Copies of this chain bind each other. A is one copy, B any other.
Amino acid sequence: MAARRRKRDEPLDQERGVFMISVAAELAEMHPQTLRMYEARGLITPKRSPKNTRLYSQADVERLRRIQQMTNEEGLNLAGVETVLKLERSMERMRREIARFRERAERVERMLEEVERVRDTVKSELVPYGAYEAALGRTPEAKPVRVPIRRRGKGA
């Protein structure tokens, strides 16, 4: 509890409560009372100092500006802001998922191409086992082994 987890300096600074309410309100171009109201509505949750003073982070201020944009420019009410913020979070997750699957698909496609390229190279350097045995004189005739590799993209 005493030590905040920190990954790098950057996120710490972004999340750190540094602005008292008058400063945060000025930065977000809002009335201080509006910030208190938003907190009561659960739209923003600033840190608190040991003396119970609200401390807003840089991320808080950006969130406030985003809210400001939605209410003033787009005309949303606070219920709408809440819903949209939730939807945007979920869209961010989806974007990451799309990136993940795209990467996975492309990576595996590259592997498949590599495998086929190698197979084409190697195939010319390999000889069916039957022919090898025949060359050793172990079998009367060298029946060619049928190589059941299917070409990519053809058949089931």
Contact = CB atoms under 8 A, between A and B. Distances in A.
Interface of A: 70, 74-77, 79-81, 83-84, 87-88, 90-91, 94-95, 97-98, 101-102, 104-105, 108-109, 111-112, 114-116, 118-119, 121-122, 124-129, 131-132, 135-136, 145, 147-150, 152
B84 A94 contact: no
Given A94-B94, A125-B145, 8 more contacts: A74-B83, A76-B83, A87-B87, A87-B91, A91-B91, A101-B101, A118-B149, A122-B149
A147 to B, nearest CB: 6
Contacts of A111: 112, 152
Nearest to A75: B79
